[in-house]
């Protein structure tokens, strides 16, 4: 993920800054967003994606970019800073994902459930684990190696 300052406006109340955000995935997918920081809060003003994001993917976008964007924008954040387990203006905190066989089995469950629902199984694993695409693909591979998922067909 890359984040860069776009522009800033100062007034008597303080400053409002805009940042460009780009996520690029190994499969060629790309998401560009325009984030605004005002009064210590980060908001997304515009999102463009190739290929287009589904509503579920759009909802997951905040989870993908929250920590790196907050860090780049100089806004305090981090998981679990809210009293109810949520940060102000963000989604729920993802609990720690179990390691080993239990985690592999859960990854396989999330993957298969997403396939049955006709949604992207990798994104489902990303949302469930709170990990980026690369780490989620590694977790899926580990679930395959453990025998919880079938091998991918040749020719893909």
Predicted local distance difference test score (pLDDT) of residue 109? 92
pLDDT above 60: residue 80: no
Neighbours of 135 (CB within 10 A): 14
Neighbours of 130 (CB within 10 A): 17
Does residue 108 contact residue 125 with C-beta atoms inside 8 Å? no
Question: What is the mean predicted confidence (pLDDT) over 135-142?
Answer: 90
Rounded CA gap, 26 and 50, in Å?
13
Phi-psi label, residue 88: left if phi above 0, alpha if psi -120 to 50, beta otherwise? beta
Does residue 21 contact residue 6 with C-beta atoms inside 8 Å? no
Q: What pLDDT digit, counting tens, does each position of 39-74 carry?
A: 777 788 888 988 888 877 777 777 777 777 777 766
Backbone angles phi and psi of 127, in degrees to 5: -65, -40
User: Could you give the dihedral angle defined by the CA atoms of residues 23, 27, 28 and 33, in that order, rounded to the nearest 10 degrees?
Assistant: -20
Question: What is the mean predicted confidence (pLDDT) over 134-154?
Answer: 85
pTM: 0.45
Question: What is the mean predicted confidence (pLDDT) over 12-38?
Answer: 82
Predicted local distance difference test score (pLDDT) of residue 102? 83
| CA-based end-to-end distance of the chain | 26
Q: What pLDDT digit, counting tens, does each position of 107-138 carry?
A: 999 999 998 998 888 888 888 887 788 888 88
- Which of the pair, 102 or 153, is modelled with greater confidence? 102
Residue 90 pLDDT grade (very low, low, confident, very high; cuts 50, 70, 90):
very low
């Amino acid at each position: 993920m890359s984040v860069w300052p776009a522009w800033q406006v100062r007034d008597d109340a303080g400053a409002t800054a805009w940042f460009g955000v780009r996520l690029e995935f190994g499969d060629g997918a790309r998401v560009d967003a325009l984030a605004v920081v005002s009064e210590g809060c980060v908001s997304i003003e515009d999102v463009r994606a190739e290929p287009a994001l589904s509503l579920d993917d759009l909802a997951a976008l905040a989870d993908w970019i929250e920590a790196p964007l907050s860090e780049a924008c100089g806004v305090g954040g981090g998981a679990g800073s809210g009293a109810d387990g949520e940060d102000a203006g963000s989604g729920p905190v993802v609990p720690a994902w179990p390691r080993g066989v239990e985690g592999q089995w859960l990854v396989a469950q999330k993957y298969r459930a997403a396939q049955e629902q006709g949604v992207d199984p990798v994104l489902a694993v990303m949302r469930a684990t709170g990990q980026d695409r690369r780490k989620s693909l590694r977790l899926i591979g580990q679930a395959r190696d453990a025998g919880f998922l079938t091998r991918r067909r040749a020719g893909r």
